[in-house]
Amino acid sequence: MNVIHVSAECYPIAKVGGLGDVVGSLPKYQQQAGVGAKVVMPFYDNKFTATHKFESVYEAELVLGEENFSYRILKLKKEVLDIDILFVDITELLFMDYVYSTDDTARFTAFQIAVMDWVLTLKTKPTIIHCHDHHTGLIPFMAQECFKYESLNQIPVILTIHNAQYQGWFAHDKVHYLPAFDISNIGLLDWDGVINPLAAGIKCAWRVTTVSPSYMEELQQAANGLENLLSHENQKCVGILNGIDADVWNPETDEFIPKNYSAKNIQTGKTANKKWLCKEFGFSASKPLFAFIGRLVLEKGADLLPEVFEKILSKKECNILVLGSGNPEVEDSLKALKKKYKGVYNTFIGYDEKLSHIIYAGADFLLMPSRVEPCGLNQLYSLRYGTIPVVRSIGGLKDTVIDIEDGGFGFSHQDASGDDILQTLNRAIAFYNDKPEFKKTRKHIMSIDHSWNVSAQKYIDLYNSLKSD
């Protein structure tokens, strides 16, 4: 079996969110299971591309509407990654120091056309084309409908929805960007009066997956306008929970953290990493340390945090550390708390990969009060490092975190509200003070297997079912 993953992101080359982590891990675990898997992604102007050497394996021109663009398919000269990655270099459109901008229609449409044009030339065609999010949502349509790709329409195309909030909408006046197709089938591209790449992908893909079973159910109720479509197409939809790369996220070998540890020496390991954080950010190590890592945006519930933190910090019963960036107003509100609650609160606006690893290793609890969380990876990282998650019961968080009061190992709340979060934080503080149970629980959660092994096999089983259709 030969699988091509097509994505705008892939860790460690370019990562904006969980999409990058997934595409950087899933092919690796598929390869370990005996499946040929590679990634095709844009060639960006970033630190990775600047510090590595590449060679061209294919060169041609693509047509985007009335314009022609030269493009190259590149590969690394030296094997430095665990997975095989090919890069689409369209210098004028893709070679930028960012992944996304306010208008990416031309960029990602050209990227998808380049991928399909290149696949046409391959002597050995892929067994499966696996597309990720709306940036690749036009590929299922093009494979099915565009005349020039008729020879590819028997290759099963999978679409995975990582986040349905973003759909790649653009106006009908840009439909000429696409290679020729029977215009009577324009409805396959349209949703609510505009071209919607994600909707087109859902309509035309052989199977549609999401990154957790609960998120698939939720999308039929709330999907930023695609609820009816997903309900209509539910027979070909399935939720497969994401995994994590257990080699990268491993407290026994993690080179980022001050002290490595396993479940056997978790107490000394966690204590040492917590002391590092407390010294760095001015906390007392005797208090429970709550952390938030992620984008400071509405969908992550970040706007609720300043008010909640005000209420909980006034009691001086815990420490709170925030790592993230996003909405400027939320950033300002969180930064404003630093002076008022010095010694129990701090924030790092931005993102630092090393610091995130140390937080997972040193914090006692991880906060995820998300309004939307298709799968969530942070709670899986926290479990791996013995840090107890405090989450809203939604999407993948619902699938992976069972509340202590229900016989589980974490803390969850139903609503994205300040009162619910505050109540749950107070429950977690009380649990922290029950030292035997607290220590027992964090040791237990390190044994939960959320590696990609199981999930990768579920995708392979899905591929095999399509081969036999």
Q: Tens-of-pLDDT digits for all 469 residues of the chain?
A: 999 999 999 999 999 888 998 999 999 999 999 999 999 999 999 999 999 999 999 999 999 999 999 999 999 999 899 899 999 999 999 999 999 999 999 999 999 999 999 999 999 999 999 999 999 999 999 999 999 999 999 999 999 999 999 999 999 999 999 999 999 999 999 999 999 999 999 999 999 999 999 999 999 999 999 999 999 999 999 999 999 988 889 999 999 999 999 999 999 999 999 999 999 999 999 999 999 999 999 999 999 999 999 999 999 999 999 999 999 999 999 999 999 999 999 999 998 999 999 999 999 999 999 999 999 999 999 999 999 999 999 999 999 999 999 999 999 999 999 999 999 999 999 999 999 999 999 999 999 999 999 899 999 999 999 975 5
234 shares its domain with 337: no
273 shares its domain with 224: no
220 shares its domain with 348: no
277 shares its domain with 193: no
| Any domain includes 254 | no
Domain with residue 9: its CATH number is 3.40.50.2000
280 shares its domain with 423: yes
Pairing of strands 67-76, 54-64: antiparallel
**Structure tokens belonging to residue 205:** 């893909």
Are residues 77 and 66 in contact, defined by beta-carbon separation less than 8 angstroms? no
Are residues 379 and 393 in contact, defined by beta-carbon separation less than 8 angstroms? no
| Any domain includes 164 | yes
Distances (CA, A) of 214 to 165, 222, 352: 16, 12, 30
Beta bridge partners of 237: 208
225 shares its domain with 289: no
210: left (phi over 0), alpha (psi -120 to 50) or beta: beta
| Any domain includes 257 | no
| Any domain includes 256 | no
387 shares its domain with 401: yes
| Any domain includes 190 | yes
Boundaries of domain holding 307: 266-448
**Structure tokens belonging to residue 381:** 């990282």
Tell me how many domains the chain contains. Answer: 2
225 shares its domain with 126: yes
Q: If 0-12 CB within 10 Å is exposed, 13-18 middle and 19+ buried, where does residue 183 land?
A: exposed
Helix (H) or strand (E) holding 75: strand 67-76
Q: Please state the separation of Cα 178 from the chain's center in Å.
A: 28
408 shares its domain with 351: yes
127 shares its domain with 270: no
Number of H helices, E strands in the chain: 17, 17
